[in-house]
A and B are shown apart, each in its own frame.
Chain A
Amino acid sequence: MINKKNIGLFIPCYVDQFYPNVGIATLELLEKLGCQVSYPLGQTCCGQPMANAGYERDTIGTTKHFLNTFKDFDYIVAPSGSCVLHVKEHSPTVPGLESEQYATQHKIYELTEFITDILEIDSIQGSYPHKVGYHASCHGQRGLRLASASELHETPFNKARQLLQQLDGLEWIELARKDECCGFGGTFAVTEEALSVQMGKDRLEDHLSHDVEIITGGDMSCIMHLEGIARRNKTPLQFKHIAEILNEAIS
């Protein structure tokens, strides 16, 4: 049995600033699943935007702060595959804190994998009568392996789908390109603006042509980008983080 009492919630900086509802949904969802969760108030950005832009070496201070902030928790859970991947694989080694860092990298989980793999919950009871299209964020998909990759010869699985498809009335929509990148890519969204937007439009088109009502996913950064394009073009699509759907469906 895992100790559900000592779980640290890590809310990525942009979710804190722009998408408080996603933070709230994550917290409430974990609570409904029997977890005791706290959110250490001193937390800041994990350093991913800097590191992906080529300044990993300048994120030692941030990484150290992160390790100290979360050192006393049994688990760290975040509603973002991308930030979790960063903490696990790209945060620079902090001299003197090697063992804390090792421990942190092995106790941090993206929300859906925490539910399926640690809480070992296969399905969530609830109702959500909508046509849902799932956007697989690449860092969750190929970085954390939250779902089988279309490139690999492996047995198909998808942790988000496992949780969503049990909901009453939810229709999981199959896409033509189920794990193609949306073109967000952090820095890329601006340095390669034209490409980034085109990739986003192409993803939206795939969802639209399959009659998706709501696009969901595990990373708000991808969704911020997709939603930004959709709004600008008055595209009739809704966007929700998977935590919002699960939390709403249960209640």
Chain B
Amino acid sequence: MNHPTKAEEFLSDGANAKWHDETLWFVRDKRDSSSKTVPEWEELRDLASRIKDNVLDYLETYLLEFEKNAKANNIRVHWAKNAEEHNQIVLGILNKHQCKAIVKSKSILTEECHLNPFLEKHGIEVVDTDLGERIVQFLNQPPSHIVMPAIHLKKMAISDIFHEKLQTEKGNDDPYYLTQAARNHLREKFLAAKVAITGVNFGVAETGEFVVCTNEGNADMGVHLADVHIASMGIEKIIPKREHLGVFLRLLARSATGQSITNYNSHFRSPDTGKEIHIVLVDNGRTEQLAREKFRNSLKCIRCGACMNTCPIYRRSGGFSYGSTVPGPIGSILSPGLDLQKHSSLPFASTLCGSCSDVCPVKINIHEQLYEWRQEITKAQAANAKSISMKIANGIFAVPFAYKISAGMMRGALKFLPDSITYSGLNTWGKQRDLPELPKETFKQWYKKNRS
């Protein structure tokens, strides 16, 4: 299904859509005020952006340095070309330890690799321990936001799920009460798990350590109780030096939630005696994206979610409308690189307003990349008419003024679009909007009469 259809569905519950918009706007607002307490905010963004540019330029060097230093710290390093390899590596480690139940925290990458269904198919119980993740896991849903996975659910919906799954009191939606119930439930899972999986926010090449940022402290709880820690890390998560963390951690928390610092920024450097730490370095399409000059910048992302909170489209269509692991503006420039046809409506799910690029702490030119993806998609369409969603094709020339453009200019595009499509969209414009009244003369006619 394409974005417009899902967005329309989302909007059909007007009250809920309004609530969703306001909830996320509130987070953006907090981000605004919090970033404005830092006088050097824009310099920090600039610095972060340049550090990441350097990382992308020398990615191979930094990765090898990271591997060497991590190994010297007794960390076991694995390389995974794609999701399949990543999942096999994880399964291999679990099998070796005869582990049938794991706890997991803070990993969008494992979502991207669809690790949960893969492990469950192999008889392993996976428990997501971030509160929001656990909630959507109960519902068999993917996260709808990369920082606040259950942001699409109201308190009462969560109360209902907990009543069903954790036997809490029906109708009690007191956040403290529900959180306590979740903690008790998760505690058993933590105690039972021999292996804990986490994501990675930053891998430091210089030291071979990695940093995981959570607000709930659950990554630490999981890791410290388990014998084996598996960390799944996208290869772009590397930073050159430990001192660079000062730049990124300040930006990350403020951009994500408006907090001045994330509650737990945990550094993992080497395993305790008798324990193991594994890092799986995952490519899964990242090197290909790196090779796309216009889109490589997207790999600078530190997954703060700010572009989602600020996006007027995301706020009014919800995370699921994107149909990709990473939703919102950043998802719309990452996903077409993975599957152009499937995600062809995403770069059009934007007005190119540019708010995303202005909030982005690492200054990714998101809206410009959306524009560039549109160019790529229509090119692909020329080669294969099915590669663009018909809904998009329908609207392209339908805005009232667009059909006035010269025939010569339209020729290229028209080769691939039947006439009926080109003009039918006018009706769409008029469904909920009046057309401007046609004046008795155009400006050009007036000018000829009055000035020349």
In the bound complex, do residue A186 and residue B399 qualify as a contact, i.e. CB atoms below 8 Å apart? yes
Instruction: Give the complex CA separation of A141 and B358 in angstroms.
Output: 11
Whether A185 contacts B433 by the Cβ 8 Å rule is no
Judge whether B428 and A18 touch: CB under 8 Å: no
Partner of B408, one of A61, A177, A193: A61
Segment touching B, from A94-102, A150-158, A159-167: A150-158
- Interface presence of A110 (CB below 8 A): no
Query: What is the interface size of chain B, counting residues whose CB is below 8 A from a CB of the partner?
Result: 80
In the complex formed, the residue of A with least CB distance to B40 is: A153
Answer yes or no: B451 CB below 8 A from chain A CBs: yes
Q: Which residues of A contact B446 (CB under 8 A)?
A: 20, 23-24
Q: Flag A217-239 by CB within 8 Å of B: 1 or 0 each.
A: 00001001101110110000000
Question: Which residue from A41, A52, A185, A195 sits with its C-beta under 8 Å from B452?
Answer: A41
Q: Cβ of B436 < 8 Å from any Cβ of A?
A: yes
B431 adjacent to A14 (CB under 8 Å): no
Question: A154 and B42: CB pair below 8 A?
Answer: yes
Asked if B132 CB lies within 8 Å of chain A CBs, one says no
With a cutoff of 8 Å between Cβ atoms, the chain A residues found around residue B3 in the complex are 192
- A interface residues, how many (CB within 8 angstroms): 76
Q: Assess whether A194 is in contact with B351, with CB atoms less than 8 Å apart.
A: no
The stretch that binds B, out of A111-119, A196-204, A208-216, A240-248, is A196-204
Q: Are A194 and B354 closer than 8 Å at their CB atoms?
A: no
Which stretch (B70-78, B81-89, B268-276, B369-377) binds chain A? B369-377
A125 to B305, CA, bound (A): 46
A-B contact count (CB 8 A): 240
Chain B: CB-nearest residue to A190 = B395
> Which residues of chain A are near B436, meaning CB under 8 Å?
18-19, 224, 227-228
Provide the A121-146 mask, 1 if CB < 8 A to any CB of B, else 0: 00000000000000000110111000
Which B residues lie within 8 Å of A62 (CB)? 405-406, 408-409
Say yes or no for B35: interface residue by CB 8 A criterion.
Answer: yes
Assess whether A172 is interfacial by the CB under 8 Å rule.
Answer: no
The binding surface of chain A is classed by DSSP as: helix
Say yes or no: A221 contacts B401, CB within 8 Å: yes
A50, CB-defined interface residue at 8 Å: yes
Whether B375 contacts A202 by the Cβ 8 Å rule is: no
Across the interface, which residues of B come within 8 angstroms of A171, CB to CB? none
Contact A20:B443 (CB < 8 A) given known A151-B355, A195-B313: yes
Residue B246 lies at the interface, judged by CB distance under 8 Å to chain A: no
Does the CB pair B377–A195 fall under 8 Å?
no
Q: Residue B375 contacts which of A49, A57, A199 (CB distance < 8 angstroms)?
A: A57
- Which residues B320-365 have CB closer than 8 A to chain A? 345, 348-355, 357-359
Q: Does A108 contact B (CB under 8 A)?
A: no
When distances are taken between beta carbons in the complex, the residues of chain B under 8 Å from A192 are 3-4, 7, 313, 348-349, 395
B432 contacts the other chain (Cβ, under 8 Å)?
yes
The answer to whether the Cβ of B121 comes within 8 Å of any Cβ in the partner chain is no
Q: Is the CB of A16 within 8 A of B442?
A: yes
Q: Is the CB of A142 within 8 A of B374?
A: no
Inter-subunit contact B409/A190 (CB<8 Å) = no
Q: Closest residue to A65 on the B side, CB-wise? A: B406
Instruction: Check A174 for interface membership: any CB of B closer than 8 A.
Output: no
Closest A-chain residue to B437, C-beta based?
A: A18
Question: Is B401 touching A13 in the complex (CB atoms < 8 A)?
Answer: yes
Contact with A along B377-412 (1 / 0, CB 8 A): 111000000000001101111111110111011111
* Smallest CB-CB A-B distances: 8 pairs: A185-B351, A14-B401, A228-B433, A190-B395, A191-B395, A23-B443, A54-B374, A58-B412
Known: A181-B312, A225-B433. 15 other contacts (CB 8 A): A17-B404, A18-B401, A18-B436, A20-B441, A20-B443, A44-B405, A50-B410, A52-B352, A61-B406, A138-B352, A154-B42, A187-B399, A190-B399, A192-B7, A192-B349
Contact sample, A vs B, 16 pairs, CB 8 Å cutoff: A13-B404, A18-B436, A27-B447, A45-B409, A50-B410, A54-B375, A56-B375, A143-B354, A187-B348, A187-B398, A190-B428, A192-B395, A195-B7, A195-B11, A197-B431, A199-B351
